[in-house]
């Protein structure tokens, strides 16, 4: 099982970097955030109140979930026979995903899918607890960050409806797997680096550790 873990706060560049890095390395790309968004989308589709975690816990137990890889090497998740796509980027999902993702049963569900995917292929996976909780034993851990101002600008350009401060508070203070720098992770400030610059830096570190392009 070979996993490159990329963690960091909202708008630190995780998804773009992970996607490009996976292509460079010849690995599959696994977006854990999309999985949490998919579960959130299904919760909202069932018109459940996210202020009542016990109802979400029960709904999660009833969910039929499977995941895999597309021909392009990106992961997908199917919930109750539905394969959500652009629905994952709606304002309602964006505003609810941190609360849903803080629930233990939701995190357990997503973590099982992540481990299942990692057993199939070498992966680059990004999120907020990939290196600290999901794959703590991987030697290939990175934590991306950027200044609040830069992240705020990126968030606005993505058309997201929440704030950096709101997401940071929710992600770093939740009881289950809070956002933090994993032990042994390489911290990279992406504030003034290009996408290729960040990927180049990660590839250099990986090659020094003995992990080379496929």
Contact 33, 171 (CB under 8 A): no
Task: Quote the distance between the C-alpha of residue 22 and its chain's center.
Answer: 14
> Is 70 inside any structural domain?
yes
Task: Quote the distance between the C-alpha of residue 190 and its chain's center.
Answer: 17
What does the alpha-carbon distance between residue 34 and residue 86 come to, in Å, rounded to a whole number?
A: 11
pTM, rounded to two decimals: 0.90
Number of domains in the chain: 1
- 67: domain CATH number? 3.40.50.300
> Is 42 inside any structural domain?
yes
> Is 213 inside any structural domain?
no
**In which domain, by residue range, is 156 found?**
3-208
> Is 26 inside any structural domain?
yes
Mind listing the pLDDT tens digit for each residue in 126-141? 999 999 999 999 999 9
Contact 162, 94 (CB under 8 A): yes
What does the alpha-carbon distance between residue 65 and residue 62 come to, in Å, rounded to a whole number?
A: 9
DSSP letter (8 states) at residue 70 = -
Q: Of the candidates 176, 49, 169, 48, which has an alpha carbon nearest to the alpha carbon of residue 106?
A: 176
Q: How confident is the model at residue 177 (pLDDT cuts 50, 70, 90)?
A: confident
Q: Of the candidates 68, 60, 66, which has an alpha carbon nearest to the alpha carbon of residue 30?
A: 68
> Is 214 inside any structural domain?
no
Mind listing the pLDDT tens digit for each residue in 178-190? 889 999 999 999 9
């Amino acid at each position: 099982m070979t996993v490159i873990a990329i963690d960091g706060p909202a708008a630190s560049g995780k998804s773009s970097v992970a996607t490009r890095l996976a292509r460079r390395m010849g690995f599959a790309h696994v977006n854990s955030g999309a999985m949490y968004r998919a579960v959130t989308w299904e919760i909202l589709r069932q018109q459940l109140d996210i202020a009542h975690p016990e109802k979400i816990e029960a709904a999660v137990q009833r969910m039929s979930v499977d995941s895999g890889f597309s021909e392009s090497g990106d992961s997908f998740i199917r919930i109750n026979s539905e394969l959500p796509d652009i629905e994952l980027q709606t304002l309602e999902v964006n505003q609810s995903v941190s609360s849903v993702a803080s629930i233990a049963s939701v995190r357990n569900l997503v973590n099982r899918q992540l481990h299942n995917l990692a057993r199939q292929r070498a992966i680059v996976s990004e999120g907020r607890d990939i290196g600290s909780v999901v794959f703590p034993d991987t030697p290939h851990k990175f934590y991306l960050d950027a200044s609040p101002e830069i992240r705020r600008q990126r968030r606005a350009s993505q058309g997201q409806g929440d704030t950096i401060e709101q997401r940071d508070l929710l992600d770093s203070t939740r009881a289950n797997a809070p956002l933090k720098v994993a032990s042994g992770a390489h911290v990279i400030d992406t504030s003034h680096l290009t996408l290729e610059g960040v990927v180049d830096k990660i590839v250099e570190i990986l090659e020094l550790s003995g992990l080379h392009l496929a």
